[in-house]
Structure 1
């Protein structure tokens, strides 16, 4: 079947209705007797419904994107409605402290949230003995990065590698304090690459990023609809594009040497 027809909204709606109907029938049969169910057919229908929902989501995003491009840059009802809906989804009018205490004043809520996350992000105090023990452990490590790879890890990237890294950065993400989206950086690359190269040269020369480049804005996103509970808010850090570029670059290089340093049984959280 033609791929474009499969992505047509009317076709997707009808196909999803049929697939869901069959899927519901199989689920009812499964509740009665496990042996009468064709497992392969069940999995195929589940995957089909999931694919159709993903395609529907893509269509809706494209439609919303088109509407935003037409109306979003103007001072109109649509523009303010979009912003208002986003703001309402990411704020709470009250905060529950315990079983009997609630905060409703905005200043009190801000103070409580600030104190909570200050404690959460506070750097733990390490005693002299802990620091010494850590040093002793590191000195006992047998695996080392070969000299050739160490040279690779500290060498300055050229213009082509830098552009490739910028293209790998995630798109449509919230902005850091610099207010520069990745999309703008890519569109204006012929004019902005010189500034990016200069920033990277400063990093390689000083061996550290400036305070501005490591300053992030902590934004809280609700995990679910119970926004009155502080534990249901997830903090994310919005970082400047300089940090994102260097972080992506170093991560990509480190990925090549990690297999030499990490045992097979330690790779649970390492992308291979």
Structure 2
């Protein structure tokens, strides 16, 4: 964008000094391209600034760029206190400390014992055979599209950087291909790598932000993973009543007014 601004300034000087129509035409084209680029940048800043009331407020693009930078600074970790009280200021040390803390926090404590597992699973209710066949049926294009339309816009994308809006816009072009990928993945028993990875970001909570405990981890998942999850969750919703005791009413369809 900086190079384009320089080109506009040079053409402006040429057009004013010579009056050449060719220079004037080129100047108009460059100005139009610069305006389009600034508009795209401003839209990106608006999304990243998390400001949602643009229709109710007449604000310049500078406001959103400033708000984006301000919000971004809040999520930066400039220093961290180690377990021994040492102040860590190098990014490598901060990253190593954070990785160690969350690796320990989320470490699996599962110790499977066959007898215990057998006793736990024995006698549990099962879905009806017809419902089981519906749950295991191939994912359909209509299911994916319905799930996609129900997903909210403006959510942070995963590692591939593709948000919900991209899939909604490009559905007619790539819907069939996505369906084929997901079907092959379910048949083979393994999802694509992008669906098995997440971008982990830390959001500040209240309290001393020098303490790693006051940063909340959030996993940003790819849209296709969330899309498949929504399809499967919708299927499970229809059979929940068959396996959940009738005393449980919350979040079970037809047992409460809200469902989920």
- TM-score normalized by structure 2? 0.68
2:216 is aligned to: 234
2:87 is aligned to: 102
Deviation, 1:249, is 0.7
Deviation, 1:180, is 0.6
Does 2:195 align with 1:213?
yes
Partner deviation per Cα, 1:47-98 (whole Å, 9 max, x = no partner):
xxxxxxxxxxxxx723289879x84xxxxx5565344222211122222346
2:139 is aligned to: 157
Partner deviation per Cα, 1:12-52 (whole Å, 9 max, x = no partner):
xxxxxxxxxxxxxxxxxxxxxxxxxxxxxxxxxxxxxxxxx
Does 2:238 align with 1:256?
yes
Deviation, 1:207, is 3.4
1:146 is aligned to: 128
Q: Is the 8 A contact 2:141 2:176 kept in 1?
A: no
Q: Is the 8 A contact 2:82 2:88 kept in 1?
A: yes
Correspondence 1:13-162 to 2 at 5 A: 61-63=52-54, 71=61, 80-97=65-82, 100-127=85-112, 130-141=113-124, 143-162=125-144
Higher helix share: 1
Task: Give SS of 1:140's match.
Answer: coil
CA 1:65–1:155: 2 relative to 1, 3 Å: farther
1:23 is aligned to: none
Deviation, 1:168, is 1.5
CA 1:222–1:153: 2 relative to 1, 3 Å: same
- Structure 2 residue ranges without an equivalent (≥5): 1-50, 254-258
Deviation, 1:109, is 1.4
Q: Is the 8 A contact 2:138 2:183 kept in 1?
A: yes
Equivalent of residue 187 in structure 1, options 158, 164, 169: 169
Q: Is the 8 A contact 2:79 2:94 kept in 1?
A: yes
1:197 is aligned to: 179
Equivalents in 2 of 1:119, 1:269: separation in Å?
32
